[in-house]
C-alpha cells in the first residue's frame, strides 16, 4: 500500500479553506499513486480550535464540508481527516476528537481519541469526551487486506519511562497488542518543544516494538497564535528505525510505500537545536502575521541583543522590505547603541526612522511636576521613558497598519524587568519564551559559520556577521539612567536563568533550590520577583511557545495569592 503523509498548515476555524488544503493534498496524493492519504489531528478545524468548537453553526458547516470532500476527492483514494464528531443527546461536552474516513463518495467516523490532554496549553476535556475503545481499520488495497491501527496524538504518549507525565487512563497502544496490525497510524497536532522531535521518535519506536509493525506519524505544521507546530512527520519500521521523515517547519506532502520485509533505514540527520529554534520562531512570526492579516511589521531597535534577534527573525519571516524599525534615543542612550542599531539595520536591509525622546521627556516632567510636587524621579522617570517609546511605536504601527513586535525576553518577563504600556507593547512577543542566556547562545550560533546554510535557506545573508560582535558582547542595559546595567538590579543571567527555569518549568520551591545549593538570598529574591510580576504577565502580548512551560495559556498562576 502506498501512503501519502499530508503535513498541512491550517487556519484555525476555516473549515472551507482547510477543506481545500485537504482536497489539494488528495489530488497530489492520487497523482502520486497513493492508496491512503493521512492528514493531521482535527485537520478540518486546525489545532487548537478552542471555543470555536462550541459554535453550532461551525459544526453544521463541518458536515457540509465533509459532504463536499466526499463528493470531490478521487473515488479510488481513501482519506483520513481529523474532525469533531457531535454526540447526539449528550451532556456537555458533546463532541469526540475523531477521525473520519472519506472513501468512495462517502464518509464515516472510524476512530476517537482516548487520551485527552488537559495540561499545559491543552484543554481538551473542556470540549471532548474520551473514546472508549481501540480502533482498527481494514482496507483492501493492491490485492491485500491491510489492518491499520488508528490513534490520535496523545494516544501514543503512554511511556512513563520516556515522558515527563503520562495521562491517567487507557493505554491505547496496549489495547492494540493482539490485533495483528500491519501498520499503526498516529495523526497528531503536536506543537514544537525543545527536544520534542527526538521524543516523538522514541515514543513511536517503542510503539513499533510493542506492536511488531511500522508506525506512521503525521503532524500538523505552522503557527496558530502562541503555538507553533513543527511538522517533521515520519515513519519508523517494526524495529523503531526511521525510514522516512518530512522536513521541520514546512508544509509538504510525502509518499511512503508500505512494503512487507526489511527496508533501508533513513540516515540519522536532524537539524541542530539552534536551527530548529530559529526556524520555529521565523515560522511563528510569519504565520501569526499572515493569519491575522498583517503584511508588515514594526519594532523598536535599541542596539541591544534582544531587539537585534527579533529584527532578524522578522526579516526572515516577512522579508526585510516589509519590516521597519524605530530608533528612539534618550539622553541616556550611548552613542554605541545608536550606531549598533543602525549598523544592524544596514546588514539586514531594514528601513529605519529616528525619533529622539528628550523633548517628550521634558514635556512629561513639566506636566507632572504639579501633581508630583516636582518632576518624576527614580523608577517612575525610567518607566516614563519606556512608555514614551511604547506610545510612539503604537502610533506608527497603528498609522501604517503594521504588526508591532515586542522584543522582551523570558527572563525579563519573569522578574518584571519590563514596563507595562512601554516595552511590553505589541501584538506578538517573539522571544518572550527565550531566557536571556538562550538569546545569547542563539545569536552566537547565528553569527557562526555553522548557521550559513540555514541563513541562506531563510533568505538572510549567508556570510559575515548579522547580529554583530559589538551587540553580542555588549553588557545588557535598559539605558534608562546614566551608566545603567541589568546587573545593577538583577543577578547575572548565568545565575538568574537556572533559578527561573527551576521555578517556572520545574515548579520548584525556594526551599528546594536552597537545599540543592542555591544562595539563599538570591533564591528567595528571585522567587519574590517572579510572583510580584504576575500582574504584568497577565497583560503581556501573546508569546511564541518554545519551552516546556511558557507564560500564557500554560501558566495559570493567580495574581492575588499567598
Q: Cite the active site residues.
A: 41, 113, 153
Strand segments (E) across 8-155: 36-38, 78-86, 95-103, 106-112, 135-141, 144-152
Residue 251: count other Cβ atoms within 10 Å of its Cβ. Answer: 17
Query: What is the C-alpha to C-alpha distance for residues 72 and 65, in angstroms, rounded to an integer?
Result: 10
Composition of the chain by helix, strand, coil, percent to 5: 40, 20, 40
Strand segments (E) across 357-454: 403-406, 428-429
Query: What is the C-alpha to C-alpha distance for residues 426 and 51, in angstroms, rounded to an integer?
Result: 24
3-class state of residue 348 by DSSP: helix
The grid coordinates of residue 277 equal: 529554534
Alpha helices, DSSP H only, in 373-451?
378-400, 410-415, 436-446
Of 554, 552, 543, which Cα lies nearest the Cα of 310? Answer: 543
Residue 184 near residue 208, CB atoms below 8 Å? yes
Side-chain-side CA neighbours of 79 within 13 Å: the count stands at: 34
Residue 406 β-bridge partners:
429
The grid coordinates of residue 192 equal: 514544537
The grid coordinates of residue 461 equal: 545573508
Query: What is the C-alpha to C-alpha distance for residues 133 and 145, in angstroms, rounded to an integer?
Result: 22
Containing H/E element for 209?
A: helix 196-211
Query: What is the C-alpha to C-alpha distance for residues 405 and 81, in angstroms, rounded to an integer?
Result: 35
The grid coordinates of residue 45 equal: 478545524
The grid coordinates of residue 17 equal: 479553506
Of 149, 184, 150, 154, which Cα lies nearest the Cα of 170? Answer: 154
b/e burial code for range 31-66 (CB count within 10 A of at least 16 → b): eeebbbbbbbbbbbbbbbbbebbeeeeebebbeebb
Amino acid at each position: 500500500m502506498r501512503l501519502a503523509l499530508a503535513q498541512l498548515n491550517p487556519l484555525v476555524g476555516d473549515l472551507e479553506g482547510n477543506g481545500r488544503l485537504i482536497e489539494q493534498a488528495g489530488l497530489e496524493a492520487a497523482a502520486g499513486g497513493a492508496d491512503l492519504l493521512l492528514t493531521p489531528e482535527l485537520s478540518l478545524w486546525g489545532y487548537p480550535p478552542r471555543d470555536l468548537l462550541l459554535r453550532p453553526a461551525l459544526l453544521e458547516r463541518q458536515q457540509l464540508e465533509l459532504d463536499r470532500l466526499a463528493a470531490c476527492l478521487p473515488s479510488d483514494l481513501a482519506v483520513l481527516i481529523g474532525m469533531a464528531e457531535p454526540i447526539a443527546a449528550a451532556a456537555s461536552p458533546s463532541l469526540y476528537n475523531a477521525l473520519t474516513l472519506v472513501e468512495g463518495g462517502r464518509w464515516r467516523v472510524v476512530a476517537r481519541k482516548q487520551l485527552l490532554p488537559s495540561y499545559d496549553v491543552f484543554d481538551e476535556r473542556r470540549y471532548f469526551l474520551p473514546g472508549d475503545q481501540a480502533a482498527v481499520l481494514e482496507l483492501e488495497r493492491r490485492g491485500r487486506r491491510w489492518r491499520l491501527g488508528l490513534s490520535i496524538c496523545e494516544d501514543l504518549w503512554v511511556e512513563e519511562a520516556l515522558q515527563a507525565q503520562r495521562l491517567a487512563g487507557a493505554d491505547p497502544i496496549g489495547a492494540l497488542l493482539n490485533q495483528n496490525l500491519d501498520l499503526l497510524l498516529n495523526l497528531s497536532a503536536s506543537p514544537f518543544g525543545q527536544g520534542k522531535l527526538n521524543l516523538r521518535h522514541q515514543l513511536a519506536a517503542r510503539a513499533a516494538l510493542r506492536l511488531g509493525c511500522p508506525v506512521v506519524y503525521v503532524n500538523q505544521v505552522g503557527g496558530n497564535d502562541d503555538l507553533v507546530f513543527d511538522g517533521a512527520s515520519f515513519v519508523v519500521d517494526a524495529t523503531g528505525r526511521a525510514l522516512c521523515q518530512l522536513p521541520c517547519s514546512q508544509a509538504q506532502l510525502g509518499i511512503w510505500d508500505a512494503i512487507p520485509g526489511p527496508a533501508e533505514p533513513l540516515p540519522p540527520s536532524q537539524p541542530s537545536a539552534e536551527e530548529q529554534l530559529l526556524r520555529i520562531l521565523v515560522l511563528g512570526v510569519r504565520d501569526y502575521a499572515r493569519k491575522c492579516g498583517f503584511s508588515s511589521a514594526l519594532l523598536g531597535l535599541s542596539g541591544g541583543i534582544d531587539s537585534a534577534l527579533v529584527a532578524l527573525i522578522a526579516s526572515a519571516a516577512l522579508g526585510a522590505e516589509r519590516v521597519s524599525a524605530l530608533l528612539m534615543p534618550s539622553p541616556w542612550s550611548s552613542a554605541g547603541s545608536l550606531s549598533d542599531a543602525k549598523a544592524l539595520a544596514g546588514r539586514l536591509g531594514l528601513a529605519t526612522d529616528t525619533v529622539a525622546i528628550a523633548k517628550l521627556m521634558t514635556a512629561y516632567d513639566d506636566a507632572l511636576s504639579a501633581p508630583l510636587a516636582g518632576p518624576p524621579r527614580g523608577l517612575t522617570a525610567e518607566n516614563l521613558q519606556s512608555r514614551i517609546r511604547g506610545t510612539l511605536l503604537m502610533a506608527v504601527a497603528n498609522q501604517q497598519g503594521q504588526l508591532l513586535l515586542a522584543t522582551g525576553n523570558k527572563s525579563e518577563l519573569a522578574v518584571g524587568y519590563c514596563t507595562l504600556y512601554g516595552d511590553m507593547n505589541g501584538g506578538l512577543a517573539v522571544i518572550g519564551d527565550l531566557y536571556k542566556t538562550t538569546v545569547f547562545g542563539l545569536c552566537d550560533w547565528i553569527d557562526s559559520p555553522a548557521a550559513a546554510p540555514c541563513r541562506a535557506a531563510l533568505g538572510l545573508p549567508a556570510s559575515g556577521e548579522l547580529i554583530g560582535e559589538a551587540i553580542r558582547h555588549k553588557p545588557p542595559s535598559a539605558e534608562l539612567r546614566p551608566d545603567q546595567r541589568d546587573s545593577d538590579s538583577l543577578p547575572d543571567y548565568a545565575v538568574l536563568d537556572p533559578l527561573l527555569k527551576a521555578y517556572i518549568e520545574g515548579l520548584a520551591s525556594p526551599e528546594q533550590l536552597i537545599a540543592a545549593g542555591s544562595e539563599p538570598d538570591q533564591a528567595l529574591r528571585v522567587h519574590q520577583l517572579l510572583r510580584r510580576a504576575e500582574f504584568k504577565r497577565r497583560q503581556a502580548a501573546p508569546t511564541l511557545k518554545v519551552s516546556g512551560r511558557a507564560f500564557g495559556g500554560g501558566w495559570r498562576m493567580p495574581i492575588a495569592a499567598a
